[in-house]
Structure 1
Amino acid sequence: MNPKIYILAMACFVAGTVELIVGGILDLISTDLGISLSASGQLITIYSIIYALSGPLLLTMTSRIERKKLYLYALFVFIIGNIVSTFSPNFSILLLARALSASSSSLIVVLSITMASQMVEPKYRARAIGTIYMGVSGSLVLGVPLGMILGNAYGWRAPFFMISCLSVLAMIAIGRYIRKTPPVPSLPLRTQLKTLRNGKIISAHLISIFMLTGHLTLYAYLTPFLQETLHINTSLLSVFYFIFGIAAVAGGGIGGWVSDKFGSERSIVMIVTVFGVMMFLMPLSTFSIYACIVVMMIWSMLSWSISPSLQSYLIQSAPESAEIQQSLNNSAIHIGIALGSGIGGVVIERSSVYYNAWVGVIFVILALGCAVCSIKWKNRFRAEKSLPQS
């Protein structure tokens, strides 16, 4: 596999870190800017919303720009966003800076996926995409603890300054080592969005929405779940999160290998099925710390294994609108994150966090149903095309 893909993965690590890095320093931001803790939480919400909405629009608006040049433009805007965050005098400016970072980050991740998939032979495509997602997953896992360490040591502005510096290094590396990539001939946005009328495409995006909804129903409340079921202290809790993070990062690479080995369609069905089983077993495994760790590691790994298979599947299913599909799928992921967090909160209020995983399994089953529908629709479509014309 082309080693230059790791440069794109590291750029995605830097771009992804800024999304959740504020999670561990919300109290510092609220105190310094004189706002409530709930108001500072909007820094995460606005980021997710802008990220989900801006990707497809920006890809269409920039469809004729050479991809390496566009990547460097996006990184430049990303750097500006983080510099503004570093020196924000008030909450309104900080929100604006977060919007800049979110929109440029969404473009960086999608461009990394499309460029990486073009840098390798088709048989290694899913593995290349998996490497990109290892960068993304690593950033999401390490973002909160990294923000807490820097924020508590040097103030809440330090993490944004660090990201700005790392982004400059990424920009230099991409400018020097990544070759120019011509834009793929693009259809008008209206024509591309018409693909969502296609059963196999909309079902594929629904896999991401439902699977991430199910995942976040438990993951967003993993701390109270572990504390209530295992009665563990804070230091042991950090060990659980570290193990979860390592498994999540490995999941992206493993998912790419599985997809290349068994094909994207079979991989999607296998991953979603086993993921649902692991989520179902999570509450049952809490009779033992060791059993819970094993189940949690497999659950974490599979949560990121689905992305390479699904992205590869979308490229194969809609090659004429591959970029927009990948962007829409990233948007679907963020929709699932928002829905899962909300639903998990309702479960806790009305029942107990012990049942969050089982409620989440319901959505994973819906994801599996969407996967089967999408694949069967595709096979039927192929069969119809192969019939002789009278």
Structure 2
Amino acid sequence: MNPRVFILAIATFVVGTVELIIGGTMNLITADLNIPLSAAGQLITVFSLSFAVSAPILMHVTRKIARKRLYLLALFGFFLSNVLAALSPVYSVLLIARILSASCGALLTVLSISIATQIVEPAYRGRALGIIFMGISGSLVLGVPMGMTLGNAFGWRAPFWLIAGLSLVAMLCLSIMLPNVQTPPAIPLRQQLASLKSEKIVSAQLITMLMLTGHLTLYAYFTPFLQETMQLEGAWLSFVYLLFGVAAVMGGGVGGWISDKWGPPKSILVIVSAFGLVMASLPFTTGSLYVFLIVMVVWSALSWAISPAQQNYLIQTSPRTADILLGLNTSVLHVGIALGSAVGGIVIEKASVQYNAWVGACFVLVSLGCAVYSITRPGSEKTTADAASTIDA
């Protein structure tokens, strides 16, 4: 495996931590800036929406810029946005900083995925994607506790200073180690939009969105689920989240290995099917803490195991528009996160948190239907070798 992939994964981890880091310092921000809790919560919502919108737009606008140069410019912009966040005197400045940070982060995430697939041999593409998604999943899972620990010790601005410093370190390392990968040929916007008319591609994008919707229907409200069904509090809650985070990070790597061994289509079908079954079974395991933890670890790992197979599948399906499709996939992932959180809240309001897992499993079942539909559609599916030669040409 090309060691530069690990550097990209570390950079992606740094970028990803900033999305949910607000969740661990929300009470400190509200007290310092004298704003209501709901306004602090909007800092996460605005980030997710900006991230979702920015990814495909920025990938198109910057399509003619050399990938290495673009990556370093985006990292510098990300550094400046976090400095602005750390220095924010009022809420409106912090909100602008979050929008800028999300835009640069979206560009960096998609570039990391795209570059990683270009600097490894085709046989290792799934594993390279898995390593990148270990960075992404790790950042999303660890962002809240990291922000909480640093914020309580040094104030809510401290996490932003740390991320800004790590951004500079990443810039230095990548300026030396990152090769000059070839910029994909510019594709007319009309042709890019035409690829989205493909039933195969649209249904493929829905796999990610609906699976994440199902996942977040429960995970966004995992704490009340644990409290109500198992009466867990304090240290046990922290332990469960730590175990969940470790499993999620490892799941990205396992998913990449499976994608290389089985191929993306088969991997997607197996992972989504298993994820739905495990998620639906979670409420039945709460009678035994040990059984629950085992099932939860599998659930967590599968939640991120899908990403390398999905990204690899999109690259094979339409290699010429791979950058655009990867950007869109990153966007729909965040749409799924937002939608799942909303659906989970409705379930709790109308019924009970105990039903969230089953409602989420229903969305996963629809995701499986989209996977079957996409894989069985004729179209632009290429062999791995063909896809690789097209991307590297």
TM-score normalized by the length of structure 1: 0.97
- After superposition, residues 45-124 of structure 1 pair within 5 angstroms as 45-124=45-124
Contact persistence 1:186–1:320 (CA under 8 A): no
Q: Which amino acid aligns with 2:71?
A: Y
Contact persistence 2:255–2:306 (CA under 8 A): yes
Deviation of 1:188 (Å): 2.2
Q: Which amino acid aligns with 1:360?
A: G
Equivalent in the alignment of 1:387: none
Q: Which amino acid aligns with 1:340?
A: G
C-alpha distance in structure 1 between counterparts of 2:171 and 2:245, whole Å: 26
Q: Which amino acid aligns with 2:124?
A: Y
Gapped runs of 5+ residues in structure 2?
Answer: 383-393
Q: Which amino acid aligns with 2:343?
A: I
Q: Cα RMSD (Å) of the superposition?
A: 1.1
Q: Which runs of 4+ in 1 moved over 6 A?
A: 379-382
Structure 2 CA distance for partners of 1:379 and 1:332, relative to 1, 3 Å: same
Equivalent in the alignment of 1:24: 24
C-alpha distance in structure 2 between counterparts of 1:50 and 1:166, whole Å: 22
Q: Which amino acid aligns with 2:163?
A: I
SS at match of 1:218: helix
Further displaced range: 185-194 or 369-378: 185-194
Equivalent in the alignment of 1:296: 296
C-alpha distance in structure 2 between counterparts of 1:381 and 1:126, whole Å: 16
1:41 aligns with 2:41: yes
Deviation of 1:9 (Å): 0.2
Further displaced range: 190-199 or 241-250: 190-199
C-alpha distance in structure 2 between counterparts of 1:272 and 1:156, whole Å: 38
Q: Which amino acid aligns with 1:266?
A: K
Equivalent pairs: percent with the same residue?
55
C-alpha distance in structure 1 between counterparts of 2:380 and 2:368, whole Å: 18
- After superposition, residues 151-230 of structure 1 pair within 5 angstroms as 151-230=151-230
Equivalent in the alignment of 2:365: 365
Q: Deviations over 1:219-240 (max 9, x none)?
A: 0000010111111121101100
1:283 aligns with 2:294: no
SS at match of 1:197: coil
Contact persistence 1:186–1:321 (CA under 8 A): no
TM-score normalized by the length of structure 2: 0.96
Contact persistence 2:285–2:291 (CA under 8 A): yes
Structure 2 CA distance for partners of 1:160 and 1:281, relative to 1, 3 Å: same
Gapped runs of 5+ residues in structure 1?
Answer: 383-390
SS at match of 1:173: helix
Contact persistence 1:60–1:188 (CA under 8 A): no
Q: Which amino acid aligns with 1:288?
A: S
Q: Which amino acid aligns with 2:25?
A: I
C-alpha distance in structure 2 between counterparts of 1:318 and 1:110, whole Å: 16
C-alpha distance in structure 2 between counterparts of 1:372 and 1:69, whole Å: 39
Q: Which amino acid aligns with 1:92?
A: S
Deviation of 1:379 (Å): 7.0
Deviation of 1:128 (Å): 0.2
Q: Report the count of equivalent residues.
A: 382
C-alpha distance in structure 2 between counterparts of 1:335 and 1:296, whole Å: 24
SS at match of 1:21: helix
Q: Deviations over 1:257-302 (max 9, x none)?
A: 0000000000000000000000011000111001110110000000
Deviation of 1:181 (Å): 1.2
C-alpha distance in structure 2 between counterparts of 1:120 and 1:231, whole Å: 47
1:130 aligns with 2:133: no
Contact persistence 2:318–2:381 (CA under 8 A): no
Equivalent in the alignment of 1:385: none
Equivalent in the alignment of 2:251: 251
Contact persistence 1:249–1:301 (CA under 8 A): yes
Contact persistence 2:317–2:381 (CA under 8 A): no
Contact persistence 1:81–1:101 (CA under 8 A): yes
1:265 aligns with 2:275: no
1:236 aligns with 2:236: yes
